[in-house]
């Protein structure tokens, strides 16, 4: 098989053409880096847009949510309705970011299976009469609690790992 491109002529390292080639490669690298950053920003933005309010039922499956550094809000928050999450990851872009991975308030009901909460303030926050059922999840290296439960909220947890959370695995 014949090559489809003609051979490239050698360029002397001390010539202006070499400098132009280096600049060309830098521009290509910056453009690729920017394109990848835009793709990651789209995923982050989608996570920030998920604010669940009302009586709807939502399902999240196989998604990764990255917490924005310096943001004190939860990655995903629901104030009502039913949220099911399977094989999702809630993680901070920087270690021990403020804010929760997932927050449920009001009459929200959560069903979480095989999810990971890592390096955020509280992995899961269940407050104000919300109810969460957690199975096969991992709450690791969060700066406060793996799960914080309060204000008449309910938690049912089974077969889950709570490890190396600063204050404790479950805060009541």
Predicted structure pTM score: 0.66
Residue 131: Cβ within 10 Å count = 16
Q: 38-71 pLDDT, tens per residue?
A: 888 777 666 555 554 444 778 888 888 777 666 6
Q: Convert the pLDDT of each residue in 114-132 to its tens digit.
A: 999 988 888 899 988 899 9
Question: Could you count the other beta carbons within 10 Å of the beta carbon of residue 157?
Answer: 19
């Amino acid at each position: 098989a014949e090559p489809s491109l003609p051979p490239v002529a050698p360029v002397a390292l001390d010539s202006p053409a070499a400098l132009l080639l280096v600049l060309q490669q830098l521009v290509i690298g910056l453009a690729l880096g920017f394109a990848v950053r835009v793709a990651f920003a789209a995923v982050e933005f989608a996570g920030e847009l998920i604010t669940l309010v009302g009586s709807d039922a939502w399902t999240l499956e196989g998604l990764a949510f990255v917490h924005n550094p310096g943001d004190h809000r939860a990655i995903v928050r629901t104030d009502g309705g039913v949220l099911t999450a399977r094989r999702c990851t809630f993680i901070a872009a920087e270690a021990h970011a403020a804010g929760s991975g997932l927050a449920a308030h009001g009459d929200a009901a959560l069903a979480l299976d095989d999810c990971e909460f890592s390096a955020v303030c509280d992995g899961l926050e269940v407050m104000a009469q919300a109810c969460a059922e957690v199975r096969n999840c991992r709450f690791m290296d969060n700066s406060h609690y793996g799960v914080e439960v309060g204000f008449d909220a309910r938690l049912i947890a089974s077969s889950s790992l709570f490890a190396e959370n600063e204050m404790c695995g479950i805060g009541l």
